[in-house]
Amino acid sequence: MPKPIVLIAEELSPATVDALGPDFDVRSVDGTDRPALLAAIAEANAILVRSATQVDAEAIAAAPKLQVIARAGVGLDNVDIKSATTAGVMVVNAPTSNIISAAELTVGHILSLARHIPAAHNALAQGQWKRSAYTGTELYEKTVGIIGLGRIGALITARLQSFGVSVIAYDPYITSARAQQLGVTPVSLDELLEQSDFITIHMPRTPETLGMISTPQFAKMKKSAYIVNVARGGLIDEDALHTALTDGEIAGAGLDVFVTEPPVDSPLLALPNVIVTPHLGASTDEAQEKAGVSVAKSVRLALAGELVPDAVNVAGGVIDPYVRPGIPLVEKLGQVFSGVAHSSPLTSVDVEVHGELSNYDVSVLKLAALKGIFTNVVSETVSYVNAPLLAEQRGITVRLITDGVSDEYRNVITLRGALADGSQVSVSGTLTGTKQIEKIVEINGYGVEIPIAQHHIVMIYADRPGIVAVYGAEFGEAGINIAGMQIARHEAGGQALSVLTVDSPVPDGLLASVRERIAADVMVEIDITE
């Protein structure tokens, strides 16, 4: 078997390649060379990037084998997540890799603004001894306002409190208990702007936060106040900032990020009360190594078919070891389910988890069920990522139901669906024994217990003598070996369900012949795709 191809499109730490291990064909390409990228990505199963490579709709469309896009860092501005999700491609990042580095850089900007460190350095380097020109201000007893009290905001708080500052914060989602735990006073945005001597912003870039600090906000700030942005370019309106700085509405700004990077011809670069750095928030050896190693581990998980805790476009995350064996079982049940329901479109699906498993987070099993249901019925590649989207596009309502009661087995998982013609279909399965054998234990209300294999035939017909002999003879004459069989019925002379395990696929013509001879209400072949 050829090794999966992992494409590294930007310079990453040697530890990243080491973390991938020997199981992959690791290739490199310059992600900023567009023709080279599109040629190389065509064969890739995974691609690792930083911020320079644009993995957009065009690149994703050129990569039919792509399973995972890994961004060795936090932001995902250069990845088209919507196109990736539609294509079933998992997107992962390293959300905690640079938080310490970003927090430390923020503190560095605040100190540099307070003490005019860059300007004083430049003057002295040019032979000018201007002590009085660079008189600064102490942080002690000043008020620092943090907009966005997430992980980075909390780290900044801890570091700044040692300077004896008062920290206030604006964050619509922070609880009072969490703020109290951090030693922060929660306030409104207007209160923060009015009270702060230093303001630092740590929000994601969204349509709602774009330009959230603009002319009205600068008008509320102290004339002696400084503002810092090491989060995302565009959170601060750069034109409004330039006006506020040149008109003396605020004292200065520290910027690590910009709307356009690099900020060629930005008038902000020429202002004496602005300190700038070239997007260095994650630019430490430690952060780069953490990011690379983190996404390399995520790539390994993704290419092994596992869910990834840092996947940004798929629900799930950390999966309990007790839940994990149920994932392949439920995927296969989904394939059986769609096979039995082949005659009519689905309108709803319930994924029912009965037994001890109900005490765990089993949300992943809903994803696994949808992946199995769509695997053999749509032309797209189906993954944990786009399976919910496929259900939504088809108007299928999906529910996860848990119940601690399971009468016959320790755990039973049932997929139950309503069809457009008004009928219903159900398939149940479990894992049995020390070897955790995957078994089907129910189909459409008929109780069976048959190990899941690659090829099954499911038949429902009127129970009468001689039926088994009929289809047994038909399959035998065609060279189809029956490896296992179970028959279930509710009452003698009523409907019977027969599940066969066969060693090879059954030709459509043979199925049609058997269906006609036994007058089967249901006669379907189910081929399980691993």
For the chain, domain boundaries: 5-94+286-303, 99-276, 326-527
- Do the Cβ atoms of 495 and 460 come closer than 8 Å? yes
Set 34, 138, 141, 261: catalytic member: 261
CA distance 406 to 442: 13
Q: What is the pLDDT of residue 125?
A: 96
CA distance 99 to 105: 10
Q: What is the pLDDT of residue 251?
A: 97
Amino acid sitting at position 472: G
To the query of whether residue 232 is one of the catalytic residues in this protein, the response is: yes
Q: What is the pLDDT of residue 175?
A: 76
Pairing status of strand 346-355 against strand 411-419:
antiparallel
Q: What is the pLDDT of residue 318?
A: 64
Query: In this predicted model, what pLDDT tens digit does every residue of 479-496 receive, in sequence order?
Result: 999 999 999 998 888 899
Q: How far is CA 31 from the centre of its chain?
A: 22
Pairing status of strand 455-462 against strand 437-443:
unpaired
- Do the Cβ atoms of 360 and 323 come closer than 8 Å? yes
Residue with tokens 């998992």: 90
To the query of whether residue 279 is one of the catalytic residues in this protein, the response is: yes
Q: Is 109 exposed, middle or buried (0-12, 13-18, 19+ CB in 10 A)?
A: buried
pTM: predicted TM-score of the whole model, two decimal places: 0.62
To the query of whether residue 116 is one of the catalytic residues in this protein, the response is: no
- Do the Cβ atoms of 340 and 425 come closer than 8 Å? yes
CA distance 302 to 308: 6
Q: What is the pLDDT of residue 455?
A: 94
Hey, which residues does 198 pair with through a beta bridge?
144, 226
Reduced 3-state DSSP string for 94-124: CCCCCHHHHHHHHHHHHHHHHHCHHHHHHHH
Q: Is 135 exposed, middle or buried (0-12, 13-18, 19+ CB in 10 A)?
A: exposed
CATH topology of domain 326-527: 60s Ribosomal Protein L30; Chain: A; (3.30.1330)
Structure tokens at 302: 């993704």
Instruction: Tell me phi and psi for residue 113, to 5 degrees.
Output: -70, -40
Amino acid sitting at position 263: P
Set 279, 300, 354, 456: catalytic member: 279
Residues 6+ apart with CB under 8 A from 440: 333, 336, 427, 428, 429, 448, 449, 450, 452, 499
Tens place of pLDDT for every residue, the chain, 530 residues?
789 999 999 988 889 989 998 999 999 999 999 999 999 999 999 999 988 999 999 999 999 999 999 999 877 889 999 999 888 899 999 878 888 999 999 999 999 999 999 999 999 999 999 999 999 999 999 999 999 988 899 999 999 999 999 999 998 778 788 888 899 999 999 999 999 999 999 988 877 889 999 999 999 999 999 999 999 999 999 999 999 999 999 999 999 999 999 998 999 999 999 999 999 998 898 988 998 999 999 999 888 877 787 788 876 556 778 888 999 999 999 999 999 987 678 999 999 999 999 999 898 899 999 999 988 887 667 878 888 888 888 889 999 999 999 988 999 999 999 998 889 999 999 999 888 999 999 999 999 999 999 999 999 999 999 999 999 999 999 999 999 999 999 888 889 999 999 999 999 899 999 999 999 888 899 999 87
**Longest distance between any two alpha carbons in the chain, whole Å:** 108
Q: What is the pLDDT of residue 151?
A: 84
Q: What is the pLDDT of residue 113?
A: 97
CA distance 266 to 262: 9
- Do the Cβ atoms of 524 and 458 come closer than 8 Å? yes
Per-residue burial over 465-501, b = 16 or more CB atoms within 10 Å of its CB, e = otherwise: eebeeebeebbeeeebeeeebbebeeeeeebbbbbbb
CATH topology of domain 99-276: Rossmann fold (3.40.50)
Query: In this predicted model, what pLDDT tens digit does every residue of 184-221 receive, in sequence order?
Result: 999 999 999 999 999 999 988 877 889 999 999 999 99
CATH topology of domain 5-94+286-303: Rossmann fold (3.40.50)
Per-residue burial over 446-464, b = 16 or more CB atoms within 10 Å of its CB, e = otherwise: bebbbebbebbbbbbbebe
CA distance 71 to 442: 43
Set 232, 300, 354, 456: catalytic member: 232
Q: What is the pLDDT of residue 315?
A: 66
Query: In this predicted model, what pLDDT tens digit does every residue of 460-476 receive, in sequence order?
Result: 999 999 999 999 999 99
CA distance 133 to 370: 67
